[in-house]
Amino acid sequence: MDEKQEAALQRAYHWRLKERLYDWLQVYATEPLQHRRSLDCGAWLDDRLQSAEQAGLISERSIAIWAMLSLEQGDDFASNPDSPYSQWKIQEPQTLGLPAEVTLQTFFNEHA
């Protein structure tokens, strides 16, 4: 497979992931998503995918949680010291040094 084919496959995967993520958010985060719909939801989803990747998230479940928490707590929930997620991390010292996937999913499982 050459670079062009690989890039095309990556774009197709990205597009399908955005569709699945949007569909999932419509079911599990209906109200916050309705507010986001008035803005450019496609660009917001692209931004959330990019920020999730920068945070070290690779599983689709973690990416979906990242998007949901962004809707509920703000796009800066992971860096905002006042967000419920950041406050939880401070109160749970055992999360220090854990992979981002584990920390995020643990928080979600405890607070969903």
Q: Which of 68, 59, 46 is nearest to 100 (CA)?
A: 59
Q: Distance between CA atoms of 100 and 66, rounded to whole angstroms?
A: 11
pLDDT at 100 over 80: yes
Q: CB–CB of 69/108 below 8 Å?
A: yes
Task: Give the model's confidence band at 37: pLDDT under 50 very low, under 70 low, under 90 confident, else very high.
Answer: low
CA 14 to chain centre: 14
Instruction: For residue 98, give its domain range.
Output: 3-111
pLDDT at 6 over 80: yes
Q: CB–CB of 18/46 below 8 Å?
A: yes
Number of domains in the chain: 1
| Token pair listed for 71 | 């809707």
Q: What is the mean pLDDT of residues 6-25?
A: 90
Query: Per residue in 54-87, pLDDT tens?
Result: 999 999 999 999 999 999 999 999 999 999 999 9
| Token pair listed for 38 | 């008035």
